[in-house]
């Protein structure tokens, strides 16, 4: 472990790396302690646990088992698990990277996706940076901004976010690491005492990271209005939703639903498209995340949340629509 520590000191600087020289005990099935040794660490402010094989030979890793094990280790430790080995075959490295499992090979390579760095052969030439949010990261940020906007409390409640959005602890922790790197969130404490706080007001944050937001719409299909879906499972969206809150007129009915929800509630082929007039058709937007997750923040019942609505419509050439969107943003983010 000493060589790993020195290697990380060289790459990241001593001030950014802490390795605790005691073996960590986790409440996991006994097989884990027979397979791995756990050591607590902290890399660039991110709580981590080094996972080292007690016996490791130059043979293919059992990737399916390893992926499951690392998910369980991360959830139990509430830290980023990092595989620590003395050597890896090329194929093994590729499979670990493909499955986004962090690893360190002493003096050779460090793959740490949770801080957006990948070092190879002690070189800083290969740096991976986030270009835009994933759907789960965007969902966490939107929910947290709504709560901050409502309560004026800038702390992000980890338990509430995980329970409300039905996400894993690892997904939450990775999102926080991204927000910290974007300098919109700061961390206090370590391991189980870790807390997260926004460093700016919601309006400032929303505009500061405008290049990272994604359009929530994954796909769009046109269906006959009658008989093909359960309307209560869908949420009013697009210009149709805007028209119900403003003077903007729009006759085409538009609804949003998650991909999983669409599979359950739409009984036709997703590639099927009908050439229908507006008054006899409905546009269904398949969203990258479930619009129901943020529905409590909607201005009206059975409508998508306003920030996601804004993100689904920005960038149009319609000056009138853009004016309504600017007004909508001002109405949402009041602090």
Arithmetic mean of pLDDT over the chain: 81
Burial classification of residue 317, based on how many CB atoms lie within 10 Å of its CB (0-12 exposed, 13-18 middle, 19 or more buried): exposed
> Is the pLDDT at 227 greater than 50, yes or no?
no
Of the two residues 77 and 311, the one the predictor is more confident about is: 311
Query: Which ranges in the chain are annotated with CATH 1.10.10.10?
Result: 135-208
Considering the segment(s) 135-208 as one domain, its CATH architecture is Orthogonal Bundle (1.10)
> Is the pLDDT at 271 greater than 80, yes or no?
no
Q: What percent of the chain has pLDDT over 70?
A: 84
Considering the segment(s) 2-120 as one domain, its CATH architecture is 3-Layer(aba) Sandwich (3.40)
Predicted confidence band at 1 (pLDDT cuts at 50, 70, 90)? low
Q: Write the pLDDT tens digit of every residue in 51-106.
A: 998 875 544 567 788 888 998 898 888 888 999 988 888 778 888 888 888 999 87
Tell me the C-alpha to C-alpha distance, in Å, between residue 38 and each of 24, 73, 81: 5, 9, 9
Stretch 21-39: mean pLDDT, rounded?
86
Stretch 125-136: mean pLDDT, rounded?
66
Query: Which ranges in the chain are annotated with CATH 3.40.1350?
Result: 2-120
| pTM of the complete model | 0.65
pLDDT at residue number 185: 94
């Amino acid at each position: 472990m000493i060589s790993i520590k020195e290697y990380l000191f060289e790459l990241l600087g001593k001030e950014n790396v802490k390795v605790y020289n005691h073996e960590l005990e986790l409440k996991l099935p006994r097989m884990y302690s027979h397979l791995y040794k756990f050591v607590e660490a902290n890399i660039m402010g991110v709580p981590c646990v080094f996972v080292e094989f007690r016996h490791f030979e130059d043979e293919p890793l059992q990737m399916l088992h390893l992926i499951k094990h690392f998910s369980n280790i991360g959830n139990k430790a509430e830290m980023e698990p990092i595989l620590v080995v003395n050597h890896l075959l090329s194929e093994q490295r590729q499979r670990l990277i493909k499955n986004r499992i962090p690893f360190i090979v002493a003096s050779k390579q460090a793959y740490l996706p949770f801080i957006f760095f990948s070092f190879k052969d002690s070189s800083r030439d290969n740096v991976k940076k986030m270009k835009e949010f994933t759907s789960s990261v965007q969902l966490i940020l939107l929910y947290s901004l709504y709560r901050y906007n409502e309560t004026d409390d800038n702390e992000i409640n980890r338990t509430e976010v995980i329970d409300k959005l039905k996400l894993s602890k690892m997904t939450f922790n990775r999102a926080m690491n991204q927000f910290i790197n974007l300098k919109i969130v700061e961390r206090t404490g370590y391991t189980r005492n870790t807390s997260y706080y926004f460093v700016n007001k919601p309006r400032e944050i929303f505009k500061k990271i405008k290049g990272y937001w994604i359009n929530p719409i994954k796909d769009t299909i046109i269906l006959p209005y009658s008989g093909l879906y359960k309307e209560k499972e869908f949420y009013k969206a697009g210009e149709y939703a805007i028209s119900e809150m403003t003077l903007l007129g729009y006759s085409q009915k538009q609804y949003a639903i998650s991909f999983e929800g669409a599979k359950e509630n739409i009984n036709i082929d997703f590639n099927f498209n009908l050439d229908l007039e507006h008054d006899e058709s409905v546009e269904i937007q398949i969203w990258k995340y479930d619009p129901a997750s943020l529905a409590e923040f909607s201005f009206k019942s059975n409508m998508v949340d306003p920030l996601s609505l804004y993100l689904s419509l920005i960038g149009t050439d319609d000056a009138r629509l853009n004016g309504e969107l600017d007004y909508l943003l001002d109405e949402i983010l009041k602090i």
